[in-house]
Amino acid sequence: MPVADARHRISRRDLALFPSLRKAAGAMSMASEFAITRICASAVEVEAATIPAKNRPSNATEIHAVLEFLPYLWYPAPPMRDVARVAGDKRVERFSPVRELLDAGILTIAGSDWPVTPSVSPWIGIETLVMRQAPGGAGPVASLVEWISVAQAIDLFMHQAAVALGVAGKRGSIELGKQADLIIIDRDSFTIAVGDIHNVRVLRTIIDDKEVYQAAR
């Protein structure tokens, strides 16, 4: 199917979901609508890219595809045994090859699959992308060769996500001229132990230069 046709079909399907999204998501409805509209208007997105074929990086570049990973699936533990039963041990060696795709220059982002998963917190995803384990470094490791740095993991949730949504010129990083969307957290995610990142707590949230959230003391 031509990419343009696929995008058109996805757009029609997702746009039809807006009323139910608004009803189900409540206060999150505007964010849901914004995200879906942007995704439909941007590049092709491959969701839950758990074990992409080895020739996919070049193909992804050609069609300007975005590959999304779900590190939250490793919580409470990586589903390696279940995946191996279906895909085989050899394929499982490339389980969620985030590093491989980043090294190939593929636009890569992370998702939560919430509410199927226990939490929507990005800090769980950031930590597990680095440690390739459940939060706190517990349980089995999922293809350790594909680990990435904390900076790279944060970039997946910030700048790369903004690029995928087509809003990198306004959001995704703190720079002069961009919208003042930022959070203030209770610890430095770059200096604490990686296994503690999932405990990071947001103290304040600022959007368009206005405080929209402040944690209870």
pLDDT of residue 17: 42
The separation between the first and the last C-alpha atoms of the chain, rounded to the nearest angstrom, is 54
Tell me the per-residue pLDDT of 64-85, one tens digit each, with 9 for 90 and over: 678 888 887 776 666 777 777 8
Local structure of residue 132 (DSSP, 8 states): -
Burial of 110 (0-12, 13-18, 19+ CB in 10 A): buried
pLDDT of residue 142: 82
Q: What is the DSSP string of 31-85?
A: HHHHHHHHHHHSS-EE-S-SS--TTHHHHHHHTT-EEEE-GGGGSSS--HHHHHH
CATH architecture of 42-214: Alpha-Beta Barrel (3.20)
Full-model pTM: 0.74
Interatomic CA distance for residues 50 and 84, integer angstroms:
12
pLDDT of residue 180: 79
pLDDT of residue 122: 92
Task: Phi first, then psi: give them for residue 10, nearest 5 degrees.
Answer: -65, -40
CA quadruple 16, 21, 22, 23: dihedral sign: positive
Segments of the chain scoring below 50 in pLDDT:
1-28
For tokens 């990083």, the residue is: 173
Output the CA angle 200-193-186, nearest 5 degrees. Answer: 25
Question: How far, in whole angstroms, is CA 215 from its chain's centroid?
Answer: 24
